[in-house]
Amino acid sequence: MNTPSYPPPEPITGSYTADDCQFLLTPIKPEFTTIEDKERLIQSGQLHYSELIHQESAPTQAYTQLFLQLTAQYKQRLAAEIMTLAKLIAERRLGHICLVSLARAGTPIGVLLKRALQHHLGRSCSHYSISIIRDRGIDTVALDYLLQQQGYRDESLTFIDGWTAKGVITQELKQAIGHYNTTHQRRVPDELFVVSDIGGTADVAATYADYTLPSALMNSTVSGLVSRSILNSQVRPDQFHGCIRYDHLTEHDRSVWFIEQVAEQMASHHSLTDLPGARTAHQARHQAFLNTLQQQYNVSDINRIKPGIAEATRVMLRRVPDLLLLQNPQHEDVAHLVQLSQEKDIRIIEHPEMPFGACALIKDVTREAAR
């Protein structure tokens, strides 16, 4: 019996240009589930989170206005942090730089870094966005594509994300790249470069501060109209990990607009010179407080604690939140979280001693169902 022959995987661009970003993802047929059903299936162990996706809806006018306001407020700061990170990358990479952003939070950051490296630092650079999934590893078909089909040198690959908190993806990346290097006789660097590293778990960061990265407020409408990555039965072993194209949100898309807003603030002399504090100190303080929260709120699974403004925003948009903890509910950085909590009727608890601006707890839906 003949084995079916399939065409080799090809990148997609979403709503970006191919020069800005190429997603190494495979568009698949949408099979949406509700956020509530998704949470129940994940927590009960029936399905892995990567097998499920919900339909994204358009952001409200009020929420979009908050995004626009925060972009105006922080675009200059983010541009300086992008330049800082670009310079740190340039110091560690010789020759052509292949930016590999982790879809989706890393995608806009990868686009901005490519602009910074090419236009302001004069470095030859390309940018691809690929999938990494907790407990499932990195997309090895995508790595093969970059190294074998495109011919990039192992040492040119540079992994990018928007932020880190507990360091789960950092650990996943190191484990996955270690395994890939061993099985493929490769020497791909396992370093992770991020803008904001509130937990001190990334290898290289521009800041340890927990502030509102504007791109963290939005889902696909600031990430090329592409969903987070999916790995289910629709994805063949020879394909890139899957995704959904949210073309119904085209009129709400701010992906390229956001890039231009930040990029026009960049200049080669704009960067941060000193990182505040030591990474290990941030890591210890962050972990100690997470342990306190886990005990205080009787959280059985640490994965249901999502520290940092960006991660808390993800919970409010994509999961079933239980509580929202805020360092200062009146701070403008968390205005969007306050708005989302009001819309979803989620209780806010003030924790002024938190080492980060916000933390969301995901509801234990299995416990709720057992009552």
- Do the Cβ atoms of 288 and 294 come closer than 8 Å? no
Q: Which two tokens stand for residue 167?
A: 């360091």
User: Reduced to 3 states, what is the DSSP secondary structure of residue 356?
Assistant: coil
Q: Are strands 192-197 and 204-207 parallel, antiparallel or unpaired?
A: parallel
Domain at 279-370, CATH homologous superfamily: Ribosomal protein L30/S12 (3.30.1330.30)
DSSP code at position 327:
S
At residue 212, the pLDDT reads 87
List the chain domain ranges. 22-263, 279-370
At residue 368, the pLDDT reads 58
User: Considering the entire predicted model, what is its pTM?
Assistant: 0.90
Cβ-Cβ contacts under 8 Å for 288 (sequence gap 6 or more): none
DSSP code at position 343:
H
Q: Can you list the alpha helix ranges (DSSP code H) found in 124-270?
A: 140-144, 168-184, 255-263
pLDDT in tens, the chain (371 residues): 456 667 789 999 999 999 999 999 999 999 999 989 999 999 989 999 899 999 999 999 989 998 999 999 999 999 999 999 999 999 999 999 999 999 999 999 999 999 999 999 999 999 999 999 999 999 999 999 999 999 999 999 999 999 998 889 999 999 999 999 999 999 999 999 999 998 889 999 999 889 889 999 999 999 999 999 999 999 999 999 999 999 999 999 999 999 999 999 998 667 665 555 567 777 888 889 899 999 999 998 988 999 999 999 989 998 999 999 999 999 999 999 999 999 999 999 999 999 999 999 999 987 655 54
Q: What's at 289, amino acid-wise?
A: F
At residue 366, the pLDDT reads 77
Specify the CATH architecture of the domain 22-263. Answer: 3-Layer(aba) Sandwich (3.40)
Q: What's at 42, amino acid-wise?
A: I
Q: At what angle do helices 61-92 and 107-115 cross, to 10 degrees?
A: 50
